[in-house]
Structure 1
Amino acid sequence: MQAVVPAAGEGTRLRPLTADRPKGLVEVAGKPLLTHVFETLAALDVTDVVVVVGYRGDDICEFYGGSFEGTPLTYVRQDDRRGLGHAVLQAAPHVDGDFVVLNGDNVCRANVEEVIARHRGTDADATLLVEEVSRERAARGGVVDHEDGEVTGLVEKPADPPSTLVPRGFFAFSEAIFPVCRLVTPGHTGEIELTAAVDLLVSAGRRVETVDLSGWCVNVNTGADRERVADLLGR
């Protein structure tokens, strides 16, 4: 199975660390953020990784080169950064079959292999790693609406969250995600949200599965997030 890693953002909340380097090269617990991401994927035996770069993307290409610990890396650009769904679309020409997405700013020690197993075992078009959070946290990102264990929709940054179940940055997809990403109407920020694309899959009657998080995933956006990862890893 292939992997896609969106890593195009500027990391403005990590300034001044990102003033002279991309977010993916900021050190977290003694190694670059993207190294943590690639290590997680290497443990899953992915065949190759498509890395979506943007801000100071050449720095990432030069740092890692054509492979990571034997896993081939292909780079595509997202110079016009219009959301996670848009980032995934940039990888489409290089993807053949099912693939996983791990956000390039997520450090995970979690049951990600279970997401792949559920995806394959159910022949799903999308399988999401999810976690129950507070309502305040749910209102700040994507939220999974569900009933009797089945996904009934997804919504981004709702004022009144329909649930407190949120995606945790690791996904498995079939190639069906690409055409629905192209159908997404950009939000008020102009972004093509990946949650909106998955919601279209649900509306079309395609199979969408979830796996409850066991372990932890930290989306590294701030200095406090860096410290949290360091504490969790004991470094």
Structure 2
Amino acid sequence: MKAVIPAAGRGSRLGALTDDQPKGLVEIAGRPLLAYVFDRAIEAGAEELVVVIGYEGAQIVDRFGDSFCETPITYVHQRERLGLAHAVLQAEPHVTGAFLVVNGDNVFIDSLQPAVAALEDDGVDGVIAVEDVSRNTASRTGVVELANETVARIIEKPTDPPSTLVTTGCYVLPEDAFEACKLVQPSADGEYQLSEAVSLLAHAGYTIATARVGDRVNVNHPADLDQAEALLQE
């Protein structure tokens, strides 16, 4: 299985930390953010990392080269940052079969293996790693709506969340997800959402299960770096 790692963003909310380097190279406890992402992807079974780069992407190539812990790395460019579905679609020429997606700005404290393992259940076509949050937090992210214990759709930033189960930036998707990404319509802000592609798969009859993978920190602000470091030290 290959892992697609979207890491094209600048991370402007991190302020001066990304003035001259990409978000994925901001350090946490002495290591770049992407090193933690790569660790979890490889631990979950990724045999190759397909890293989607953009802003100052050459620095990521220089830092990691063509492998990480003996796992090959392939780099693809997202020349315009048009959302997660658009980022994932850039990896299509390099991926066959089911694949793992791990957002390049998430620090997962625990293993992602439960998400990959859930793909082995009978009839399961894909898996989303999820977590339970407050209703206030749910209104600011992708909310998962279930039907018969599988994903019916994902709603981005709903005013009135139908649940408090949300996405975490980790997906195990069938190869057909690339075709679903091509069908996604842009959001009001011009981005193509991976959550919409997953919803299209569910609507088409694909069985998308959920799995819980423990604590994680979505690194957007300087305070998130401190939180991630504290959790890692624990």
TM-score (norm 2): 0.96
Moved segments of 4+, more than 4 Å = none
Q: For 1:72-221, what aligned pairs fall within 5 Å after superposition?
A: 72-213=72-213, 215-221=214-220
The answer to whether structure 1 residue 234 and structure 2 residue 233 are counterparts is: yes
Residue 16 of structure 2 aligns to which amino acid in structure 1? P
Q: How far 1:123 sits from its partner (Å)?
A: 4.5
Residue 231 of structure 2 aligns to which amino acid in structure 1? L
Q: For 1:45-60, what aligned pairs fall within 5 Å after superposition?
A: 45-60=45-60
Q: For 1:17-32, what aligned pairs fall within 5 Å after superposition?
A: 17-32=17-32
Residue 109 of structure 2 aligns to which amino acid in structure 1? R
RMSD (Å), alpha carbons: 1.3
Residue 72 of structure 2 aligns to which amino acid in structure 1? P
Distance 1:119 1:150 in 2: 12
Q: How far 1:53 sits from its partner (Å)?
A: 0.3
Q: How far 1:124 sits from its partner (Å)?
A: 2.8
Residue 222 of structure 1 aligns to which amino acid in structure 2? H
SS in 1 for 2:16: coil
C-alpha change, 1:123 and 1:47, in structure 2 (3 Å) is: farther
C-alpha change, 1:143 and 1:88, in structure 2 (3 Å) is: same
Contact 2:43 2:113 in 1 (8 A): no
Q: How far 1:29 sits from its partner (Å)?
A: 1.8
The answer to whether structure 1 residue 223 and structure 2 residue 222 are counterparts is: yes
Contact 1:124 1:174 in 2 (8 A): no
> More displaced, 144-153 or 80-89?
144-153
Contact 1:125 1:176 in 2 (8 A): no
SS in 2 for 1:162: coil
Distance 1:88 1:60 in 2: 18
Residue 233 of structure 2 aligns to which amino acid in structure 1? G
Residue 154 of structure 1 aligns to which amino acid in structure 2? I
Contact 1:125 1:177 in 2 (8 A): no
SS in 2 for 1:86: helix
Residue 227 of structure 2 aligns to which amino acid in structure 1? R
Distance 1:148 1:205 in 2: 13
Q: How far 1:111 sits from its partner (Å)?
A: 4.1
Gaps of 5+ in 1: none
Task: Report Cα offsets for 1:109-129 as digits up to 9, x if no partner.
Answer: 224111111112234332001
Distance 2:2 2:53 in 1: 17
> More displaced, 68-77 or 113-122?
113-122
Task: Report Cα offsets for 1:149-205 as digits up to 9, x if no partner.
Answer: 232211111111111110111110110101111001110011110000001011111
Residue 196 of structure 1 aligns to which amino acid in structure 2? E
TM-score (norm 1): 0.96
Task: Report Cα offsets for 1:128-159 as digits up to 9, x if no partner.
Answer: 01011111111111110114423221111111
Gaps of 5+ in 2: none
Task: Report Cα offsets for 1:180-233 as digits up to 9, x if no partner.
Answer: 1100111001111000000101111111110123x2111111111100011112
